[in-house]
Structures are given as C-alpha cells and as structure tokens.
Amino acid sequence: METKTTKEKKELTVEQQINRRNFISFAGFAVLAGSAFGGWRWLSNSPEETAGITAGAKAPLRRALNNTELIFRNFFSSNHLVKTYPKSRAAKHVRVNSDIGIESNKKFDPATWKLEIVKKGGEILQITLDELKKLPKTELIYDFKCVEGWDQISHWAGVKFIDLIEHYHLGEYTQMQYVGMETPDKAYYVGIDMPSAVHPQTILAYEVNDKPLPLGNGAPLRLIIPVKYGIKNLKRIGTITFSNTRPRDYWAEQGYDYYSGL
Ligand SMILES: Nc1nc2c(c(=O)[nH]1)N[C@H]1C(S)=C(S)[C@@H](COP(=O)(O)O)O[C@H]1N2
Ligand SMILES: [Mo]
C-alpha cells in the first residue's frame, strides 16, 4: 500500500499538485470558519445571565468574566494596604464629579438624615450622624481614582466600616457575601463584595480636608473605599443592606465591571 501511494504521488503533475494543495488549504479554512460560526451561534443562542445585576451578557461570557473576577479576588487580601500620603499632598479643592441621587435640585436636609441598616427579618437600625461621630475617627489620605481617567490625592475622615460593624454588634453579617448601599432616594446604588467592605481602609466619611463634607461630595456620609474605583464610592449613603447575592449596582447595570477593583 505504502509504495503504491508514493508511486501515485510521483505521478501527479505540477498542476495537480497545486490543485491538491489548494483544496487542502481551502478545506482547512472551511473547517475553521465552520467552527468559528458554530461557536458564535452557540454563544448567541445561549441564555442570557440572570437579568438585572449586570448588563445582560450571554451566560457563558458572564461565567468567563466572573472567573476573571475570582482570580483578582484571590490576589486580593485585606492585609494589602493602599498607599497613603502626607496631608501636604492632599488636594485643597476636592473635585465634585457626578451627582446621581444627590442633584442640587433635590430637597435634602442633612439635619434630619439617619443612616439605615437593614437587618435580618427587615428590622431597621437607624443611626444619627452624631452617634457616628462618637465612634473612633479614621483619617485617610490616598489617591482617589475614577474610571474616567482622572485621579486626585484627597484627605477624608470618618468611621471605618468594620468599626461600625463591631460597635453595633453586626459581626454575623460579615459572614454574608455582599454589602449594598443606596442613596436615600434610591437613584444611585452600589454592591460591594464583603472582603472589600471590611478592608481596614474602607470608611464611611463625614469629613474632607478636616471639614464637614460639602453636599456635592456626599454629605452627610459617603463611602470611601480605596480598593475600588470612584464609581463604587457612593455619595450620600441612605441605606445599607447585606446579602449573599449581588446587590443591584448602578454602573454594573450599564455594563461596567461589577467588581471595579484596583
Ligand atoms: N450618589 C452618587 N455617588 C457617586 C456618584 C454619583 O453620581 N452619585 N458618582 C461616583 C463617581 S463616578 C465618582 S468618580 C465619585 C466622585 O466623588 P467626588 O464627587 O467626591 O469627587 O463619586 C461616586 N459616587
Ligand atoms: Mo467616576
């Protein structure tokens, strides 16, 4: 058999050989194109992820994105501290970037505001700003980064999230996977994975540059979470919730990365 095939090969004219090679490479191309098309059809026919939390990616794509997130989360540890700076490096005028849920045309009275923490069974713990100010105050000067491409070294002060948890005996809630925060009018909202929420540099800030927060920067209380991009640093916290599923997140719904870690 073998010798016969070799003999046959020898007998092919140059033109036949070229045709044969063309045929082989075309067949190879057809197989590749076919499988690419099949893959594309498979992806576009596959179901979308559960609606609502992110921007409706196909389920297999979302699985891949979530795996990427897991790799980053495994790298992340609460022992890793974000770089801090001396006060002299902090911006004197902290920019006001975006105002969803805190628009200046909305009536809001910081004096009657209370932080609301939703506990198991729906019970709501209400905490006033004065009560928060009695807890240990933590200052933080770090480089705040926005996904839009700017960053600014800024000086914040407030209560560490983990200090609040401990003071109000909410430790059991740190066993849950996520923290959700929303503005009082529910127009802006974020979901934060628990390890980032309890990170020692995550604070609920009520001061910037040693003065009470201006309304534009999120008075009376805003989230400062240096391990995340600006989008997660919710201004004017109304309610805090805990859950094992991802809380709704304003920018994730628009297609931004849910984790948004740095
Ligand atoms: N309530 C609310 N919080 C928000 C936003 C917003 O539009 N509304 N924008 C976020 C974004 S994109 C950034 S970069 C920071 C900006 O904070 P700053 O205005 O204090 O600089 O706030 C975050 N928190
Ligand atoms: Mo931002």
- Determine the distance separating the centroid of ligand 1 and the alpha carbon of 1, expressed in angstroms: 76
pLDDT digits (tens, 9 = 90+) for 134-173: 999 999 999 999 999 999 999 999 999 999 999 999 999 9
Model pTM above 0.85: no
For the ranges 7-11, 12-16, 82-86, 105-109, the lowest mean pLDDT is seen at 7-11
Would the CB of 186 count as within 6 Å of ligand 1? no
Q: Which has more confidence, 249 or 29? A: 249
The stretch 90-108 carries a mean pLDDT of 95
- Determine the distance separating the centroid of ligand 1 and the alpha carbon of 229, expressed in angstroms: 10
Would the CB of 102 count as within 6 Å of ligand 1? yes
pLDDT digits (tens, 9 = 90+) for 22-44: 666 666 667 677 677 766 777 77
Would the CB of 95 count as within 6 Å of ligand 1? yes
* Extended strands (E) in 128-164: 138-145, 151-160
Which residues are bridge partners to 157 per DSSP?
139, 207
